[in-house]
Structure 1
C-alpha cells in the first residue's frame, strides 16, 4: 500500500517529462520600436502628478538655505531690464514706453527657452540613479525637467506684470494666447526630450548647445525689434526661435501677428516632434546603458 501511494502518478510523470520553457530574446522590429516609445509616453503622462512633484522638489532643493530662493531670478531680471532697457532704447533710437515692455517679455521668454535647452541636455544623466534603481518611463524624467523650468520662469512673471502696468500696455486678448502657451509647453517638452537623448549619448552636446544659444541670442530679435529690418524679414522665419517667440510676444504687447508666423511656428514644432519621437523610438532601449 505504501509503495503504491509513493509511486508517481501519470500526471507527475508527464509534467516532469515536459521540457523546460525556453525564453527567446528576439530583436525589436520597426513596429515594436514605435509601440514601446508610444507606451512610454502614455505611461509618463499617467504619472504626471509624480513628475510635477519631483520638479517642485528640485526647485526646493536647489534653493535650500537661501533667503530669497528663486526670487533671486526675479531680482536679477528686474535689474537687467532696468539697466538694458534705457540704454538700448537710446542706442537704437526707440521709444522707451514701447521698447521696455518688448525687451522685458523677450528676456523672460528667452530665459525660459535657453534654460530649458541647457537643462534638457542633462535630463537623463542627472536622473541616472532613478533610471538604474527603478523602472520608470523615460518621459517621466522629461516631464520633471519641464515642470522644473516652468516653475523657474514663473518667478519672472511679476517683472513682466509690473512693467506692463507701469507703461499701460494692454494685451490683445484672443484665442491665440492659450494656444501659444500650450505650444510653448509642448515644444519645451519635446526639445527637452530630444536634447536629453543626444546629451546622454554624446557628452559634447551641452557645450555645443551653450555656444549656439549665445549666437542665437544676438541673431534672434530679442534685444532688437523685427521692425528694424527694413527688408528681409522673411529670412527670420528660418530661425526656429523667432516664430515661436512672436506668437506669444506679439499679442501680449498689443501688436498684430504676421500671417506667416503661426504656420512657421507649427511647422518647426512638427519637425521637432517627428525627429524627437523617431530618435526616442530608436534609442529608447539603449538609454539605460548610456547614463
Structure 2
C-alpha cells in the first residue's frame, strides 16, 4: 500500500518540466535581457579579464603569451606559405599575420559561442542574471585577445611599412561589426547547442573547414589575376567569413577598400541579429532547464 510519504517522495523525484512562464515569450523581455546584461558591464568586464588572468596564472610572462604564441605561428606560416607560393615576404607576412589575428577573433566567437551557456551552467542555475551577461563576457574576452594580438600588426607595420592612409580608420567600424556578429552568433548557436548537444562538435568541424576556405594563408587577389583559375576562385566569395576578414584586413594593410564586402557583411549582420533576437525571445526562459 502506498503511503503519503511514498507519494511525496515520487513527486519530488520527477524532473522539472520546462514550462514558460506567462509572458516569457515577449520582445520586451528579450530586449530587457540585453539591456540588463549591458548594465552589468563592471561584472562581465571583470569576469572576462579574470578569465585571461586565470589561464596564464603563475606564468612569468602572463597574458604576453597570447601575443608571443600568435607571433610565432604567424611568422612560421608566413615564411612557409610565402616560400611555397613565391610571395614577397615583405607583403605576405603582414597579410598572413593580420588574417590570423582576425580569424582568431571570429573562430573564438564561433567555437566558444556554441558552448557559452553550457560552460556557465552553474551560474545560470544559481545566479539570477540575464543570459546576455555570458555573451557579453565572451565577446569582451575575445576583444581583449584581439587587442593583445594587435601589437603584432603594429610591429609588422613598422618592420614592413604598408601604404596606410585615412582608410585605416575604417578598421574601427569594421571591428565593431565583427563584435556585433560575434554576439549574435553566440546567442543563436549557444541556445541551439544547449538544447542539442551535438551542435558544438559539428560547429568545431565546420570551423576547421572554414579556415582553409578563407584567404588567410593564400591570397584571393592573386588567384583572380590568374586567368586559368579566376572564375573558379570566385567560389571563395560564397564563404561569408572571407568578407568579415577582408573588411578589417584591407584598412589595416592599406589595401583598396572593396565595397561589396561591406554590403555582404551588412546583410549578414541584419539577418543574423534578427534570427538571434527571435531565438532569444522564444527560448530564453528554457535555457536554464536545458543546461
Select 1:194's aligned residue among 168, 188, 194. Answer: 188
Mapped partners of 2:236, 2:264: distance in 1: 10
Give the aligned partner of residue 123 of structure 1.
116
Kept in 2: contact 1:237–1:264 (CA 8 A): no
Structure 1 residues 11-26: aligned runs within 5 Å? none
Is residue 84 of structure 1 aligned with residue 77 of structure 2? yes
Uncovered stretches (5+) of structure 1, i.e. residues with no partner: 1-24
Mapped contact 2:105–2:146 kept (Cα < 8 A): yes
Q: Please report how far the alpha carbon of residue 49 of structure 1 lies from its aligned counterpart in structure 2 after TM superposition.
A: 2.3
Whole-Å separation in 1 of the counterparts to 2:94 and 2:37: 37
- Correspondence 1:1-291 to 2 at 5 A: 28=22, 32-174=25-167, 175-230=169-224, 231-232=230-231, 234-291=234-291
Contact 2:20-2:285 at 8 Å conserved across structures: no
Would the aligned equivalents of 1:237 and 1:261 in 2 still touch at CA under 8 Å?
no
Deviation at 1:235, TM superposition (A): 3.5
Distance in 2 of aligned mates of 1:203 and 1:69: 33
Cα shift at 1:172: 3.0
Q: In 2, distance between residues paired with 1:75 and 1:209?
A: 27
Structure-2 separation of matches of 1:47 and 1:53: 10
Shift of 1:188: 1.2
C-alpha displacement of 1:262? 0.8
1:236 to partner: Cα distance: 3.2
Q: Matched residues in 1 for 2:270 and 2:235: separation?
A: 19
> Match of 2:166, SS?
coil
Where 2:162 maps in the other structure, the secondary structure is: coil
- What is the CA deviation profile of residues 196-250 of structure 1, one whole-angstrom value per residue up to 9, with x for unaligned ones? 1122111112211111111111111111111122224554332111111111100
TM-score between both structures, scaled by the size of structure 2 = 0.86
The residue number in structure 1 matching 2:4 is none
The alpha-carbon distance between structure 1 residues 270 and 234, as it changes in their structure 2 partners (threshold 3 A), is farther
3-state SS of 2:116 partner: coil
Give aligned pairs, total.
266
- Tell me the C-alpha RMSD between the 2 structures: 1.9
Rg: which structure is higher? Answer: 1
Give the CA deviation at 1:57: 1.5
Q: TM-score, normalised by structure 1?
A: 0.86
How far, CA to CA, are the matches of 2:263 and 2:236 in structure 1? 13
Alpha-carbon separation, structure 1, partners of 2:165 and 2:239: 25
